Amino acid sequence: MVATELAGFTPLLLIVIGLAVLFDYVNGFHDTANAIATSVATRALRPAYAIAMATAFNFIGAFAGTAVAKTIGAGLVNDESTTLAIVAAALIGAITWNLITWWLGLPSSSSHALIGGLLGATIIGAGWSQLKWGDLTSGIIGKVIVPLVTSPMLGFAIGFGFMVLLLWIFRRATRKVLAGRFRKLQVFSAGFMAFAHGSNDAQKTMGIITLALFSAGVIDTNTVPTWVILVAASALSLGTAVGGWRIMKTMGQKVVDLEPVHGFAAETTGATIILGAAQLGMPVSTTQVISSAIMGVGTSKGVKHVRWGVARDILTAWVLTLPMAALIGAAAWWVLDALGIQ
């Protein structure tokens, strides 16, 4: 790194990068349940082994691409008008909401918390005109709103259909044999889910750090530096290693009583959708996708087998995440501005 680039690392920029790393770490333990809750609930993996595997595959998945990072860094707001104070406020909004929902045991979306924080801070700090609304394939509409609506629907529908298909294929197998087979297969589906989670979620932190570096004039384009990928991958993995037991209990035990075949179907469904979205640069909510897949899989047993009261609480957290994170992000910018931090 040349001297001019090093000179751009002001105390404020270092604080913003620190907040981004903290967000990534919180995202890791907040979303650990996404990858391993079903495997732990069905006893396919012991909790310690499941977390170790999720940690490793989250790290590996972070190197799967940078399309989502580019969406966060340059696809939602005008990066030319984005200040470090806006980025800092966005991160404060996302971290705060993540901690609130973690404490309540609600599997909300870290992705939408970050996006909400960024939009709220940008609106109050730079104005509505700095938002990139785009169309059905780009901007806030195409990369956020469309996936926000469609990804849970796909998770539910594909999870239900895949589960029905598996039950038909193995219709002659006894429950004991079925459980034995899919308990082993769940090791692979949990690893697949962890890899997909890393491929999508680590990139969000890469994108916000890259946006901060661009805003500070350290880099000339929104290309993600290699060291940023390493930092994001490491922070997410460390957070995953801590585990998110409150949310894991909700995901693995409170929504549906899962057996190994159901866990395999939910994880495979969720991972496929998340990985596909990452390749398209869509920062989808891994929480929404796997939660809806679990509900779809559970519905295959009969509607009454899904605890819809818990599902309603999860849905409430989904609906509130974007606006609440945006409000907290806007409030954080107001405080930073009052303190003279730009």
Look at residue 140 in the predicted model and tell me its pLDDT.
95
Structural domain span for residue 47: 3-333
The Cα-based distances of 312 to 116, 291, 315 in angstroms read: 21, 12, 5
DSSP codes joined into one string, 104-145: HT----HHHHHHHHHHHHHHHHH-GGGB----TTSHHIIIII
**For the chain, what percent of residues have pLDDT higher than 90?**
54
Q: Is 338 part of a structural domain of the chain? A: no
In the predicted model, is pLDDT for residue 176 greater than 90?
Answer: no
Radius of gyration of the chain (CA): 20
Of the pLDDT bands very low, low, confident and very high (cuts 50, 70, 90), residue 53 is confident
Q: What is the pLDDT of residue 258?
A: 76
The pTM of the full predicted model, rounded to 2 decimals, is 0.89
Alpha helices in 243-303 (DSSP H): 245-249, 260-279, 286-299
Q: Which residue has the higher pLDDT, 58 or 318?
A: 58
Phi, psi of 217 (to 5 degrees): 80, 15
Specify if 339 maps to a domain. no
The answer to whether position 10 is within a domain reads: yes
Does some domain include residue 340? Answer: no
The mean per-residue pLDDT over the stretch 37-48 comes to: 76
Query: Has residue 157 been placed in a domain?
Result: yes
What CA–CA distance (Å, rounded) separates 11 from 146?
Answer: 38
pLDDT (tens digit, 9 = 90+) per residue, 89-125?
999 999 999 889 878 777 678 889 999 999 999 999 9
Mean pLDDT over residues 322-332, rounded? 96
Asked whether residue 142 is domain-assigned, the answer is: yes
The residue with greater pLDDT, 258 or 324, is 324
Residue 199 confidence (pLDDT) above 70: yes
> How many Cα atoms within 13 Å fall on the side-chain side of residue 327?
5
Residue 42 domain-assigned (yes or no): yes
Total tally of structural domains belonging to the chain: 1
pLDDT for the residue numbered 281: 93
Q: Is residue 342 part of a domain?
A: no
